[in-house]
Amino acid sequence: MTASPPDARPPLVLASASPRRLDLLARLGIVPDRVVPAEIDETPAKDELPRLLAARLAREKAAAVAALAPGALVLAADTVVGAGRRALGKPADAAEARRFLQMLSGRRHRVSTGVCVVAPDGTRRERLVTTILSFVQLTPAQIEDYVAGPEWRGCAGGYSIQGRAESFVRFLSGSHSNVVGLPLFETAQLLRGLGWLRP
C-alpha cells in the first residue's frame, strides 16, 4: 500500500492582479501557489445589473485562467459597486472617480463580489455576495481632496474602504472583506466545499 502524499491538494492559482485579494487570502492563512491575472474584457453588457456583472466577470476570469493552468484549483473574483441599476467599475481617470463619488454621496449603494472557483476536474463553484453601504453627504471639498489623492485608483466605485473612505461610511450591512474584493467567509466555504480547505 502506498501512503498518500502529505499534501494531495492541487496547487491554488489566484486569477487576480489585485494585491488586496492576496492580502485577504493571507488572512485565512492561504498563500496561492501562483498568481495569474486574467486578461478579459470587463465592459458591462447593455443594461447588465451590477451584481450579475460581478458574477459573470468572476466566472470569465476563472475560465480564462483555468485554461492556462491545468491541474490547478483556480480562484477568481470580481467586485462591482452598484448605484441603483448602474454598475460602477474602476474609474478610468480622476474625472470619472469624481463623478462616481458625487453619485454615491449621501446615498445607499451596494457592493457585489462574484467569486468563482474551478477545480482541476472542471467542477465550478460560485458565490455572489452583496454588502449594503450608505455614504454621508460629501462636500465638494471632500470629494476634491479625495480625488487628488491616490486611493481611488484601481478601486470599483472610485473609493477604497480600507483607507480614508471608511470615514464616508455611515452604515454597512454584510461582509466588509467583500467590499475590499473577496468575501472571506464565503470564499472559505467554497474552498472547504471542494475539500481544499480543512473543515
Ligand X SMILES: Cc1cn([C@H]2C[C@H](O)[C@@H](COP(=O)(O)OP(=O)(O)OP(=O)(O)O)O2)c(=O)[nH]c1=O
Residues that bind ligand X (CB under 6 A): 16-18, 20, 37, 42, 78-79, 81, 90, 111, 154-157, 159-162, 179-181
CB environment 89-110: b (16+ within 10 A), e (fewer):
bbbeeeebbbebbebbbeeebb
Residue 33 annotated to the active site: no
Question: Cβ closer to ligand X: 5 or 150?
Answer: 150
Closest distance to ligand X from the beta carbon of 182 (Å): 8
Cα–Cα separations (whole angstroms), residue 103 to 48, 94, 95, 146, 157 = 19, 14, 12, 14, 9
Question: Cβ closer to ligand X: 42 or 48?
Answer: 42
DSSP 3-state of 98: helix
User: Among residues 23, 33, 47, 78, which one is catalytic?
Assistant: 78
Question: Cβ closer to ligand X: 173 or 195?
Answer: 173
φ, ψ at 172 (rounded to 5°): -140, 130
Closest distance to ligand X from the beta carbon of 40 (Å): 8
CA distance linking residue 166 with residue 106, whole number of Å = 14
Question: Cβ closer to ligand X: 155 or 191?
Answer: 155
Q: Which helix (H) or strand (E) holds 12?
A: strand 12-14
List active site positions: 78
